[in-house]
Structure 1
């Protein structure tokens, strides 16, 4: 099924932005939530960690459960739930009620992503699928990087309720776009649960899952403490750091598109080169981090490479389970969240035990582990790809 409608992927991407903003945007208003409900900031932080935990645990199972339903109806249903949940969150009478309104849509978060990636990939010829998925990833990039400062600004300028209603409006607009621009998406060949689960028997899939998880851990072991690093090491003020976050996100959008293009040309070569490129960026951050002007240039490059890691990980994982694309995408979403948790924890340990400057080495360690998984996979399971790499080296 190839779509001729120009707004197909953009409508889906807007939904990705709305859902991602629902997950991460709340980070920018945690102090206001703590003040409003008279709780500690760490207690308010449970609204974020519990959301991610539900995604990591239930993602694949929820996707399997809904895998036989019309994809368009699934996308619409998920956005309806997210819209209503954000409206209820805006007027939650207590912290406990807010927690419930937050956690209920979390069960459907990975379902939307899984269906969105699969629908985007199937809407174009196979050789263009990475580019189509890259457009959807743009919504994820904007939601992850710009959602926090945007939501924080709205919360500061208006109110806590308006900040939640912002996410509700975005999800509602995306819902309308999907209703108008996306044709019906029936499941042409429904796979049984057992058939989809058989992909888990492939050892090369688990190596790819490990690679994706380690790449995400590398990204977030450093990025989670981005603001702290710039303030302590580079000596930037809070306002300048906010500008750097926006700059990081803007370059990330461009990097997302470029990574999709490279993947469509040569997925294997792009995947192998990625950890080397990110590793070089990390070394620049470590050795040039105390210089403001060089650091601004590095941030532009860092943002572009950062978002490239998301689509590289997703494309590699789904390519190993092409017979069950939605289930494979749900595995990516779940293990990506696990990678974020591992990376954030590791980076926090490096920061507290050795110092903020040392978090770069946490990222490099995970990169090396991810690269090792790629090498093992190619050596033992991809003899044809090994020949491909050999030919590319000699060219």
Structure 2
């Protein structure tokens, strides 16, 4: 039933709005707390680091509980974070309340995907998963740019009001329209952990890690990059995030259908953006029209990255969908942490205009992992 996939998608919108909603307001947060932009970037990188370090273990621990209760508690924690953040607490407390929901973010995603495919047939699994993952693109086209626009019109605290409202709506949808879903058969930890010894799965995990690091070394500082390197004001940045998201919604649906035909070719197609976009950003210079066209292509190639990464990893361990996806979320967020950290370091030492070249380097490493997996598959006994 697609209904479960759409409920999962709505919760995903809340999750992504909370995690990435700060991207458009990092400069304002840095000014308010009188901290550097790389320190403000901790609000994103530490969130991602907690997910990376705890995601698989939290998913295994939660795997035996009623899936509706798991999703409810996770989104409730995101709502709590939004409410506290509205009151502009001290920076250390703002960082702390953002860390708390990070423990349950991969649990929510893995559970929502499991729920989405639980009533569908095998042939439509990728399509149902793409509906859930479209929450990323929908958030990018609606709540994330809207929160950035609201912050540009009033103050950054209003961005968290938007995040809290979205989490509240998602919580109501889960409570009202999702039935109780107790786990009938729980897999043993040993049976799930065995995929960690499979070379093809390990290489697929490395590809995910480098691909996400590539995108986020620049995307984490999207607002700062467009402000400083391309001369756009905060209102224009919010419009660019809106355009970015519109294209992303389309890209996710296209990617979902393409993955059903060939996972590797689809992944390679969208991964090519990590090489192409840095070059286009460089050659577009300060020309606004050219930059807008690059952002459109950027949104198309970037937006399905989480869907592609998860599907690429799951294809290497099809019998461990929930655990494999939690690892995809975990290593993807580890990639966010690495990309954001390296990007921040480059900004402080070289300048914001150099961050796209970090994207290109990590992108080449991701391509190397794809090539290695193809080699392992061809030589596998």
Query: Taking structure 2 as the reference length, what is the TM-score of the superposition?
Result: 0.87
- 2:186 aligned counterpart, secondary structure: coil
SS at match of 1:255: helix
Instruction: Give structure 2 stretches of 5+ with no counterpart.
Output: none
**Structure 2 residue 12 is matched with structure 1 residue 16:** yes
Q: Which has the higher contact order (CA 8 A, sep 6+)?
A: 2
Q: Counterpart of 2:195?
A: 199
Trace 1:250-329 onto structure 2 (pairs within 5 A).
Answer: 250-276=246-272, 278-329=274-325
Q: Deviations over 1:88-113 (max 9, x none)?
A: 44457655554443332221111101
CA contact under 8 A between 2:23 and 2:223: conserved in structure 1? no
Pick the aligned partner of 2:63 from 64, 67, 79.
67
Partner secondary structure for residue 7 of structure 1: helix
Picking from 219, 224, 245, the partner of 1:249 is 245
Shift of 1:212: 0.5
> Which protein is bigger by CA-based radius of gyration?
1
Equivalent residue runs for 1:1-395 within 5 Å: 3=1, 6-29=2-25, 40=35, 45-91=41-87, 95=91, 97-143=93-139, 147-155=143-151, 163-276=159-272, 278-351=274-347, 355-382=351-378
Closer/same/farther in 2, CA of residues 44 and 220 from structure 1, 3 Å limit: closer
How big is the shift at 1:208? 0.4
Q: CA RMSD in A?
A: 3.0
Task: Tell me if the contact between 1:275 and 1:368 (Cα under 8 Å) persists in the aligned partners.
Answer: no
1:216, CA displacement in angstroms?
A: 0.6
Question: CA deviation digits over 1:335-378, x for unaligned, max 9?
Answer: 11111122233334445555544433322221221111111111
1:96–1:245 distance in 2 versus 1, CA, 3 Å: closer
Q: Give 1:69 shift.
A: 1.4
| Structure 1 unaligned blocks of 5 or more | 387-395
Q: After superposition, give the CA deviation of every residue in 1:20-60 in whole Å (9 maximum; x if it has no partner).
A: 22222244555666787x66466665444332221111111
Alpha-carbon distance change, 358 to 153 in structure 1, aligned in 2, over 3 angstroms: closer
CA distance in 1, matches of 2:107, 2:347: 34
